[in-house]
Structure formats: C-alpha cells, structure tokens
Amino acid sequence: MKEFQLQIVTPAGILFDGAAEQLSVRSIDGEVAVMAGHIPYVTALAKGNCRVYVQGKIRKATCGGGLLEVGKENVRLLSPDFHFTDT
C-alpha cells in the first residue's frame, strides 16, 4: 500500500512524524479516511476515535478535536488533545 507523510501535533509537541498508509479520523462532517494521493483538503475535527495505519498495523488513538490539513506532499493533524491508546 502506498504511504504518505503524516505529522500529528499537539501543544505538548510532535507525537508522530513519519510514513503512514491511512489515517481515519472523525471530522465535524463525519468519518474521513485519508490515503496517499488524497485531494488537498482542510476540515475541523470532532472528538472521537482515530486510527493510524503504519507498516500494516493499526495504531488506535483518541482525538479531542482540532484541524486536519491534507496537502499534496503531506498530512498534518493538529489537536489540543490526542493520545495513542494502543501503547
């Protein structure tokens, strides 16, 4: 599966900065799945569960809202409260 560059940033710092295969997160308009080649996109995030697909594995997390920015080269998730729950 193709990968894209993902950065997850909180007030505490960068939680994730690397290659991902997919990001599934809840936006204010509903569930959004981002994969390599996704069109540029910006949306506000709602509170909810999040999944980051890395090297064939799923990392589960909770997201307390924020902003999702999908660009041509990378994806950035900015959240005031994001925590991986699988560690």
pLDDT per residue over 50-63, tens digit each? 999 999 999 999 99
What is the DSSP secondary structure assignment for residue 12, as one 8-state letter? Answer: T
Tens of pLDDT, residue by residue over 2-22, are 999 999 999 999 999 999 999
CATH of the domain at 63: 2.60.15.10
> Is 82 within a domain?
no
In a domain, 20, yes or no: yes
Question: Does some domain include residue 25?
Answer: yes
Confidence of residue 87 (pLDDT cuts 50, 70, 90): low
Query: In terms of C-beta density within 10 A (0-12 exposed, 13-18 middle, 19 or more buried), how is residue 52 classed?
Result: buried
7 and 69 in contact (C-beta within 8 Å)? no
- 79, 65 in Cβ contact below 8 A? yes
Q: What domain range is 22 assigned to?
A: 4-76
Nearest-angstrom CA–CA distance, 51 and 23: 6
Within-domain flag for 86: no
Q: What whole-number percentage of the chain has pLDDT above 90? A: 94
In-domain check, residue 84: no
